Amino acid sequence: MYDTLKERFLKYVKIETRSDEESQTIPTTQTQVEFAKMLKAELEEIGLENVFINDACFVNGTLPSNTDKKVPVIGFIAHMDTADFNAVNVNPQIIENYDGKDIVLNKDLGITMYVNDFPNLKNYIGKTLITTDGTTLLGADDKSGIVEIIEAVKYLKNHPEIKHGEVKVAFGPDEEIGRGADNFNVKEFNADFAYTMDGGPVGELEYESFNAAEATFKIKGKSVHPGTAKGKMVNANTIAVELAALFPADEVPEKTEGYEGFYLLQKMKTTVEDAEMSYILRDHDKEKFLAKKKFAEDAAKKINEKYGKGTVEVTLKDEYYNMGEIIKNHMNIVEIAREAMENLGIKPIIKAIRGGTDGSKISFMGLPTPNIFAGGENFHGKYEFVALESMIKATDTIIEIIKLNEKKG
């Protein structure tokens, strides 16, 4: 049905497109620019109209309406970049008719994906799996989403008997570092609602995300020779440890699930003279999110009360908000996706994202954008994989959503 899906995916994942948190350019890496140019050419080859790359490196294209009915303009969005894990020389491995056993990713290096460690593998017995060779990530996050969108609009273009409204597509940069959607142009995209194809296993349908902020603590110490330090030294290292100890021990990612929020100490650089600690704060509930930010401020205040004013400075930066606050007023678009999956025999798994997507920001820009499965699992590392059948189901879902949108008018 989608004769180029597999080959397109294998081609895309071999192209290195990591984003770079240290870079201040838009996009943050030139490899994303080159990938965008390739995608633009392929959208033009398919026959989409108004295909262009904007100043923020979003590849845009339009599948014109072929129905006489006036229906909402629908959009589909995916991201081009991959996470901060080795993505050079991706060498995808294909396992047909998977038998449910441990998978040797790299015999020479002794790298195996064990079923005991990844019991989700049991869900793919009999499927065609695409894995890494154990030395890189795969890039199904989110090149599977890009492939699915392209294959869907290509199929509709080649089957004009399927009536549909206008469909917009966009592929953007720098999602993995949380910046790409900052520059998404909702007015230019000009859709009534959209979906990101950026979820995990088949059936995922997400319209709630975390509220997210970063708290950066800068600690000023005083370095003195340890032999004469009594009453003089202020050790930023130990103050950092003391500050970290103030945070709730059980409100961390490894001890939370579902709607439970957390604090994560993600970076720490310390010396006697200076220390810097970076926490991310996450919660679905807005009041609890605000309380977490206040906790961070109060922690700095407590340290300053003990060691003196200016010992610790904390800077809080909001990153994105729970898109459910917007989408709850547009639940019809969630229902369309749910109905589409059910029509295809897919059981919808409606749950909150323990993270964010481009849709988290785009929804607050005025374009309600839930997230739909793209099929991959074990993202951001060497154990990442995707089933070919999962990508086919995601492509089917896109087409069914578009058909339902036209039917409902």
Tens of pLDDT, residues 41-52: 999 999 999 999
List, for residues 233-276, the tens digit of each pLDDT value: 999 999 999 999 999 999 999 999 999 999 999 999 999 999 99
170 & 202 share domain = yes
162 & 265 share domain = no
Separation of alpha carbons 3 and 251, rounded Å: 47
Q: Any bridge partners for residue 222, and if so which? A: 234
Kindly give the pairing relationship between strand 349-350 and strand 167-172: unpaired
Looking at residue 314, which CATH number applies to its domain?
Answer: 3.30.70.360
Contacting residues for 327 by C-beta, under 8 A, at least 6 apart: 207, 208, 333, 334, 363, 368, 369, 370
62 & 154 share domain = yes
- Does residue 207 sit in helix, strand or coil? coil
CB 196 within 8 A of CB 78: yes
pTM of the model: 0.92
Structure confidence at residue 394 (pLDDT): 98
Maximum C-alpha span of the chain: 86
Hunting for tokens 């959209």 — which residue is that? 194
133 & 184 share domain = yes
152 & 278 share domain = no
Structure confidence at residue 315 (pLDDT): 98
- Does residue 197 sit in helix, strand or coil? strand
336 & 392 share domain = yes
222 & 195 share domain = no
Positive/negative CA dihedral, 34, 40, 41, 42: positive
- Does residue 261 sit in helix, strand or coil? coil
Looking at residue 25, which CATH number applies to its domain?
Answer: 3.40.630.10
Give the end of a domain, one of 320, 340, 361: 320
Tokens of 292: 């977490």
Q: Give the range of the structural domain holding residue 361, as residue numbers without chain letter.
A: 5-208+323-408
Structure confidence at residue 355 (pLDDT): 87
186 & 69 share domain = yes
Separation of alpha carbons 83 and 178, rounded Å: 11
Tokens of 369: 């954008």
Give the end of a domain, one of 320, 344, 369: 320
The domain tally of the chain equals: 2
Hunting for tokens 């984003």 — which residue is that? 19
314 & 354 share domain = no
Task: Provide the phi-psi class of 368: left if phi over 0, else alpha when psi is between -120 and 50, else beta.
Answer: beta
The set of catalytic residues is 81, 175
- E-strand ranges in 114-234 read 129-131, 167-172, 193-199, 204-206, 211-220
Q: What is the mean pLDDT of residues 163-180?
A: 95
Structure confidence at residue 20 (pLDDT): 95
Tokens of 380: 């951001």
List, for residues 12-66, the tens digit of each pLDDT value: 999 999 999 999 999 999 999 999 999 999 999 999 999 999 999 999 999 999 9
Tokens of 247: 């945070």
151 & 46 share domain = yes
Confidence check: pLDDT of 199 > 90: no
Tokens of 288: 């609890």
List, for residues 312-324, the tens digit of each pLDDT value: 999 999 999 999 9
- E-strand ranges in 262-326 read 262-270, 274-283, 312-320
Judge if the upstream peptide bond of residue 27 is cis by omega within 30 degrees of 0: yes
Structure confidence at residue 356 (pLDDT): 85
Q: What is the mean pLDDT of residues 206-212?
A: 96
Q: How far is CA 7 from the centre of its chain?
A: 23
221 & 114 share domain = no
- Does residue 153 sit in helix, strand or coil? helix
Closest alpha carbon to 47 in 27, 26, 65, 61: 61
307 & 351 share domain = no
Structure confidence at residue 357 (pLDDT): 87
Give the end of a domain, one of 320, 352, 383: 320
